[in-house]
A and B are shown apart, each in its own frame.
Chain A
Amino acid sequence: MKILVCISHVPDTTSKINFTDGDTKFDTNGVQFVINPNDEFGLTRAMWFKEKQGASVDVVNVGGAETESTLRKALAIGADNAIRVNTEAKDGFQVAKELAKVVKDGGYDLVIAGRESIDYNGAMVPGMLAELTDANFVTNCISLEIDGTNVKAVREIDGGKETVATSLPLVIGGQKGLVEESDLRIPNMRGIMMARKKPLTVLDPSSATQETNSLSFEKPAPKGAVKLVDADNLDELINLLHNEAKVI
Chain B
Amino acid sequence: MSVLVYTESENGKFKKTALEVASYAKAVASKLGTTVTAVTINAEDTSALATYGVDKVLNIFNTELDVFNAKSYASAIAQAAKQEDAKVVVVSQTADSKYLAPILAINLEAGYVSNVVETPSNTTPFTVKRTAFTNKAFNNTSINTDVKIIGLSNNAYGLVENTASATKEDFAPSLPTNGVKVESVDKASNKVSIADAEVVVSAGRGLKGPENWGMIEELADVLGAATACSKPVSDLGWRPHGEHVGQTGKPVASNLYIAIGISGAIQHLAGISASKVKVVVNTDPEAPFFKAADYGVVGDAFNVVPQLIEKLKAFKAANA
Binding site for B on A (CB under 8 A): 11, 13-14, 17, 19, 37-38, 91-93, 96, 118-128, 130-132, 136-140, 142, 152, 155-167, 175-177, 180-182, 210-220, 223-224, 226-231, 234-235, 237-238, 240-242, 245, 247-248
Contact = CB atoms under 8 A, between A and B. Distances in A.
Contacts of A13: 247-248, 266-267, 270
Determine chain A's interface SS by DSSP, over half rule: mixed
Contacts, number: 256
Given A142-B241, A160-B187, A242-B315, A248 B292 contact: no
B186 A217 contact: no
A115 B280 CA distance: 29
Contacts of A180: 235
B279 to A, nearest CB: 7
7 contacts: A118-B134, A137-B180, A158-B193, A212-B144, A217-B138, A223-B291, A248-B199
Contacts of A156: 95, 241-242
B280 A226 contact: yes
Contacts of B179: 136, 166-167
Interface residues of B, number: 94
A161 B136 contact: no
A228 B279 CA distance: 10
A158 B180 contact: no
B102 A128 contact: yes
Given A17-B137, A123-B98, 14 more contacts: A96-B102, A118-B248, A121-B133, A158-B194, A160-B185, A162-B182, A164-B183, A165-B183, A166-B179, A212-B144, A220-B138, A220-B273, A228-B298, A237-B295
B155 to A, nearest CB: 12
B183 A163 contact: yes
B180 A211 contact: no
Contacts of B194: 158-159
B133 A17 contact: yes
B101 A226 contact: no
B191 A231 contact: no
A212 B143 contact: yes
Interface centre among B98, B125, B145, B290 (most CB of A within 10 A): B98
